[in-house]
Structure 1
């Protein structure tokens, strides 16, 4: 991204900034590296700070319905405290560590439709200016990839992915939003569920995997949602039969009559009916989600199970993610520092 409007209102040509991310991308909890390239303006400027913001398009439910907003979920100061002389070119390299719960944006190179980016803020003479967003590519951790590939091999199909504002009760969630990956059920479970959703909450030792199913109703019962939480470690990846493990999760989830989070062998217990609380006291609406900005897949891709090394990807994602990076205007900014 390049911008030179800094201090433009004062009639002074400001510095230009171009932030270049390493093309390889990163993983949740991994290192994000690159460099900030500065070009001096028509005068000398004291650069007070260079700050990177991690920004996501997040859906939020309010009493007025769902809406999308831009959410800043982490900030890193990567430079500053120097004078940039007129016309000077300077490069500031950086390497920062992403939060463990950073959403994934692709699977085997196929985009999931998540709008995630890096924005550069430059502080000069007490003023701040923010550049346009650079798209951030985040690949899954081995555990996430193993679970998703198992679901694909079991016949589940990718439907959509989105980011929901709120907190999943009873979990160790750290960020103020979570990622949902929505799936069409495998044929063997199609009579029991209309949709399955998976959320990963990673941490240094492993992750919590929250699985929600929209169970179909029977002759005497209505449909309802049921959830389960499973704790897995990063070290389990090479020693686990993931197809069998994940299939057992789904089987137990759909066989359960309870509408609460069930724990796996790492712990037992139950939580209130609305585990996806949105932080408003007295709000007892049950969580329901659907495709939103940057998340809906093309109609022909809904229900599609595509194998890529045994995994699942969307054949087409509606091109709204690009609009996020081109038209970001800070509306709905969730930066709560």
Structure 2
């Protein structure tokens, strides 16, 4: 799906831009490549620069949002100038190749080709004679890293089910998080853990040589006690001979640690763990503290986690998720001021 429109801020007869991403899903920490096709308008134009922005739809909590004050905004999490100054003649057609590095914490949007309800995009900015237009916006698909996929596969084999996925603003305390938001994947526990946790929330924070896995349990309360959240952090290498041989056993151990122990934060190392109690750090925006069922929807609007040899199987994705993503980009492409829902694009 590619959106192309007249660059409104440059006036009638201005240049047009069409950005086409190379086929296939990108990966966190990898590169994104493609070409930007420009067509000159009715007059010559001096292009100051062409830039690409990485944008994400992020959950917000503010007045004027949906139920409970929740809404959505678009946040820029990366920007790169891909072409400097040049002259674009009237009617001239030119194509600019580009390669952009993705942050290691880039959220995952799909699993085995099945959308998770996370919306990322690449927005093209063309600056001409002091005017900037951010009119071309293209969906960005990101597949998991091998270690991320292995963790998800293990959870599927252990019987966890997919509930929803969204992007939350803020930072998780005690982690090395870099981006101003984090991805949260909400899972339903299998029967063996259902009496201990109503829900498990999963966040991946990748760095060049390892993957930090943050797990939070919405713990059930007993007849004489209140429920509370428990949080644990674990670190594993991305892949290779140092990687675990039995991911299911490893992840199952993480879950047991999460629901059974209440140790304070300590140092974390590869195959080690940091376990916390409370799960919410007000100074960093926290992890959790919101209701399930955000933009990813419920079990009927996301990919399905299924137990079995295949781990997480590509489940049925409801048509409304696909429509929702398309509507989001169409609405954003029609917005002429380059700002969306209270988030201004960063320069």
Normalising by the residue count of structure 2, what TM-score does the alignment of the two structures yield?
0.86
Asked if 2 retains the 8 angstrom alpha-carbon contact of 1:263 and 1:269, the reply is yes
Q: Using the alignment, how far apart are the partners of 2:35 and 2:21 within structure 1? A: 7
Structure 1 counterpart of 2:292: 290
Asked if 2 retains the 8 angstrom alpha-carbon contact of 1:276 and 1:286, the reply is no
Judged with a 3 Å threshold, the aligned counterparts in structure 2 of structure 1 residues 169 and 13 are, in CA distance, closer, same or farther, namely same
Judged with a 3 Å threshold, the aligned counterparts in structure 2 of structure 1 residues 333 and 3 are, in CA distance, closer, same or farther, namely same
**Aligned match of 2:76 in 64, 72, 94?**
72
Q: Using the alignment, how far apart are the partners of 1:177 and 1:134 within structure 2? A: 21
Structure 1 counterpart of 2:178: 174
Judged with a 3 Å threshold, the aligned counterparts in structure 2 of structure 1 residues 185 and 164 are, in CA distance, closer, same or farther, namely same
Offset, 1:35: 0.3
Offset, 1:235: 3.3
Partner-residue secondary structure (3-state), 1:167: coil
1:256 matched to 2:281: no
Offset, 1:321: 1.8
Asked if 2 retains the 8 angstrom alpha-carbon contact of 1:273 and 1:286, the reply is no
Offset, 1:314: 4.6
Query: Deviation digits for residues 177-213 of structure 1, max 9, x if unmatched?
Result: 0000110102211111111010000010111100001
Structure 2 counterpart of 1:316: 317
Structure 1 counterpart of 2:18: 18
**Aligned match of 1:275 in 275, 280, 287?**
280
Count matched residues: 330
Partner-residue secondary structure (3-state), 2:174: coil
**Aligned match of 1:227 in 226, 231, 236?**
231
Q: Using the alignment, how far apart are the partners of 2:29 and 2:123 within structure 1? A: 19
Structure 1 counterpart of 2:140: 136
Structure 2, gaps ≥5 residues long: none
Judged with a 3 Å threshold, the aligned counterparts in structure 2 of structure 1 residues 250 and 188 are, in CA distance, closer, same or farther, namely same
Structure 2 counterpart of 1:84: 88
- Farther-moved stretch of structure 1 (192-201 vs 297-306): 297-306
Offset, 1:2: 1.8
Asked if 1 retains the 8 angstrom alpha-carbon contact of 2:268 and 2:274, the reply is no
Offset, 1:18: 0.4
Structure 1 counterpart of 2:151: 147
Offset, 1:262: 6.6
Offset, 1:28: 0.3
Structure 1, gaps ≥5 residues long: none
Structure 1 counterpart of 2:208: 204
Asked if 2 retains the 8 angstrom alpha-carbon contact of 1:26 and 1:139, the reply is yes
Backbone CA RMSD of aligned residues: 2.7
1:333 matched to 2:338: no
Structure 2 counterpart of 1:193: 197
Judged with a 3 Å threshold, the aligned counterparts in structure 2 of structure 1 residues 277 and 289 are, in CA distance, closer, same or farther, namely farther
Offset, 1:80: 2.9
Offset, 1:232: 1.0
1:50 matched to 2:50: yes
Q: Using the alignment, how far apart are the partners of 1:168 and 1:129 within structure 2? A: 34
Query: Deviation digits for residues 258-302 of structure 1, max 9, x if unmatched?
Result: 6x657656567676845354757xxx9972242223x11354879
